[in-house]
Structure 1
Amino acid sequence: MGNMQMVPVDDTALAMTDSGGSGQAIVYLNGAYADQRPWRPVIEALGNEYRHIAYDERARGKSKQSADYSFEGTLRDLDAILEATGVEKPILVGWSYGATIAAHWAARHPDRVLGVVMVDGAMPYGLTGEEGQERIRKLFHKMRFILPLARPFGMAARMSAAMHAEVNIEINEIVDSVDVELDQVTCPVRYVLATGSNLGGGEEEMEAARASLDPVLERNPNIQVSAKVPSNHSKILKKDFKAVAQAVRETIAAARQDHKLHNN
């Protein structure tokens, strides 16, 4: 997809691939413990008329480790990537955790983003409070021996099970109130939603999460659902990459339409 380079930020460095070219820049934001590899089918489906930029978060993929795995750190990572590439108005495409990064970044920088695609993430529903935290810690404690084995496949980070859990606890708190950011977003936003279950969350719970979007859709006309697909949360980029690519095209078309209306 392009050459990999290391982008320094804070106490670490991020592995980034950039296809280059003069097309509209699309920046891909990964799931919580994933690397950039799951985006390949989407990138191939969109083709070389766009500039594709993907990167691994701290301690994921080929990126270096850090003393800070906070959500605020991930927002600084996106700043560093945009600065390193010189991209001014990207389309942000986020899956799961990455969708919440996109929502927060777009709310904070309304003039610096062209549009956002949310892939089964950034829904205002989280496991919060002591009970939720306990459940998350137990789940990752159970998975502690599996995580190192999942790492080469881009499904776990180079951090302990306890650190994985803390990242998850923080994102659940943040996503629980992401409707605040979604209400502020002024660019076109398109969602691609799965219909199946998720690791640690049954089908019923995931449906409740997706239903939490309904009031947001009613309040903010910039936000629409592009597609609901039959995949589950973890397989959506692999199985329904065409729907994600289509949502990207729709978002770009909507942003251009907005631009035309404002300039007339």
Structure 2
Amino acid sequence: MTSSAPVARTGMVPVDDTALAVTDTRGPGRPLVYLNGSYADHRPWRPVIAELGAGWRHITFDERARGRSGRSADYSFEACLTDIDAVLAATGVERPLLVGWSYGAALAVHWADRNPDRALAVVAVDGAIPYGLTGEEGRERIRRLFRRMRPLLPLVRPFGMAARMSADQHADINIEANEVNAAIGPVLDRLTCPVRYVLATGASLGGGQEEMERMRAALDPALARNPRLAVSAKVASNHSQVLRKDFRAVADAVREAAAAHEPGAG
């Protein structure tokens, strides 16, 4: 049964050459830090937060040039990891349960790998999978996609589906994300905290059904090697719709990951 909706407090957290818009419900339960998709703001998490309710402490933030956060000279993956540290320091959270979607899932497992004594658990929503478009052919495919999308980016930006960046900067982030994911296998092998995956099964923009199935199948060897990793659910929606249509599965994965950390858990 869902608790009453949490009430949030918002503020700006300075980091490097910018400031991040952070929302913290200050709830009484475990702190959940939500990490967004590549170009999304915090809004897609609202159904998950409402489903989990006010018993948890929900912390969301907009990455650089997303949502209400400021622009920056650095949009790299490493900068995004720095931003997690800044948000944790500002909110006083020592042991977060990280909930990441897509790009955010990769950030979550990398942060957990670098901070094994602090990461409580990770929920990875259709991300942090050892698969990516790499090499010059892959990079050019990504650049072509964002060149085609250039006229649409300003139109979808108000809905949290694009950042305040150029099409080329969008492409650069996507290229780096593919390279990070392609090389993520050793990170998954080293993780010592519980990790629960929610995997979408539908086709997505930029990848047909067959390619998406190959991507998700690439997770199987990592699941076999590290018993701390498990799939909590496979859902019917696609990558873009998973938080909106299958938020209950994501909330269940959060509960499962938190329970897996409890003393005596398997």
TM-score when normalising by structure 1: 0.97
- Quote the residue 2:12 is aligned against: 6
Structure 2 CA distance for aligned equivalents of residues 58 and 158 of structure 1? 9
Q: Does 1:40 align with 2:46?
A: yes
Task: For residues 206-247 of structure 1, give each alpha carbon's deviation from its aligned partner in whole angstroms, at most 9, with x where no partner exists.
Answer: 111100000000000000000000000000000000000000
- Quote the residue 1:208 is aligned against: 214
1:180 to 171, 181, 186: 186
2:46 partner amino acid: R
- Quote the residue 2:4 is aligned against: none
Q: Does 1:167 align with 2:178?
A: no
Task: For residues 58-115 of structure 1, give each alpha carbon's deviation from its aligned partner in whole angstroms, at most 9, with x where no partner exists.
Answer: 0000000000000000000000000000001110000000000001000110001100
2:85 to 62, 79, 82: 79
* Mapping 1:133-148, distance limit 5 Å: 133-148=139-154
How many Å apart are 1:4 and its aligned residue?
1.4
Where 1:110 maps in the other structure, the secondary structure is coil
- Quote the residue 1:231 is aligned against: 237
Q: Does 1:94 align with 2:96?
A: no
Q: Which runs of 5+ in 1 are unaligned?
A: none
Q: Does 1:131 align with 2:113?
A: no
1:121 to 101, 117, 127: 127
1:16 partner amino acid: V
- Structure 1's consecutive aligned runs of 4 or more residues displaced over 3 angstroms after TM superposition are none
- Quote the residue 1:23 is aligned against: 29
Q: Which runs of 5+ in 2 are unaligned?
A: 1-6
Structure 1 CA distance for aligned equivalents of residues 51 and 34 of structure 2? 14
Q: Does 1:49 align with 2:91?
A: no
Structure 1 CA distance for aligned equivalents of residues 203 and 183 of structure 2? 21
Structure 2 CA distance for aligned equivalents of residues 118 and 257 of structure 1? 22
How many Å apart are 1:21 and its aligned residue?
2.7
Identity %: 66
1:40 partner amino acid: R
How many Å apart are 1:198 and its aligned residue?
1.6
How many Å apart are 1:156 and its aligned residue?
0.1
Q: Does 1:68 align with 2:74?
A: yes
1:190 to 189, 196, 220: 196
1:194 partner amino acid: A
Q: Does 1:105 align with 2:80?
A: no
1:254 partner amino acid: A
Structure 1 CA distance for aligned equivalents of residues 208 and 19 of structure 2? 36
Number of positions where the alignment pairs a residue of Structure 1 with one of Structure 2: 260
Structure with more of its chain in helix, by fraction: 1
How many Å apart are 1:22 and its aligned residue?
2.6
TM-score when normalising by structure 2: 0.96
- Worse-superposed segment, 17-26 or 229-238: 17-26
What is the aligned-residue RMSD (CA, Å)? 1.0
